Structure 1
Amino acid sequence: MNQDRRDRLRDAAIAVLAEGGGRGLTHRAVDAAADVPLGTAKNYFPTRDALLRAVAERCLEQYRAVAAALAGAGPGPSDRAGLAALLAGLLRNVAGPGRPRMLAYLELQTEATRRPWLAALLDPIASGDFAAHRTLLSGAGLPAGPERARALTLALHGAIPHLLGGSPGTLAAAGLDDLDGFTRGLLAAVCPEGTQTP
Structure 2
Amino acid sequence: MTTDRPTVLADAAIHVLAREGMRGLTHRAVDRAAGLPPGTTSAYYRTRHALLTGLVRRLVERDQAELQALGKEPLGFGSAGELAERIAEFAEARLTGEGRERSLARYACAVESVRHPELREILLPRENAARAAVRDFLAAQGVPDAEERTLTLLACVDGLVFDRLVGGGRVPLEQIRALVETALR
Q: TM-score range by the shorter chain?
A: 0.7 to 0.9
Cα 1:107–1:142 change in 2 (3 A) is farther
After superposing the two structures, state which structure 1 stretch, 2-11 or 99-108, moved more.
2-11
Cα 1:128–1:52 change in 2 (3 A) is same
Q: Please state if 1:138 is matched with 2:139.
A: yes
Q: TM-score, normalised by structure 2?
A: 0.86
Query: Hey, what does 2:49 align to over in structure 1?
Result: 49
Query: Hey, what does 2:33 align to over in structure 1?
Result: 33
Query: Hey, what does 1:18 align to over in structure 2?
Result: 18
CA shift, 1:74, in A, is 2.4
| Identical amino acids, percent of aligned pairs | 34
**Aligned partners of 1:157 and 1:27: how far apart in 2?**
30
Structure 1 residue runs without a partner (length 5+)? 172-176, 193-198
* AA partner of residue 186 (structure 1): L
Q: TM-score, normalised by structure 1?
A: 0.81
Cα 1:142–1:102 change in 2 (3 A) is farther
SS in structure 2 opposite 1:95?
coil
How many pairs align? 180
Cα 1:19–1:154 change in 2 (3 A) is same
RMSD: 2.3
SS in structure 2 opposite 1:99?
helix
Cα 1:178–1:68 change in 2 (3 A) is closer
Query: Hey, what does 1:186 align to over in structure 2?
Result: 179
**Aligned partners of 1:150 and 1:65: how far apart in 2?**
19
Q: Please state if 1:63 is matched with 2:63.
A: yes
**Aligned partners of 1:73 and 1:144: how far apart in 2?**
26
**Aligned partners of 2:48 and 2:136: how far apart in 1?**
37
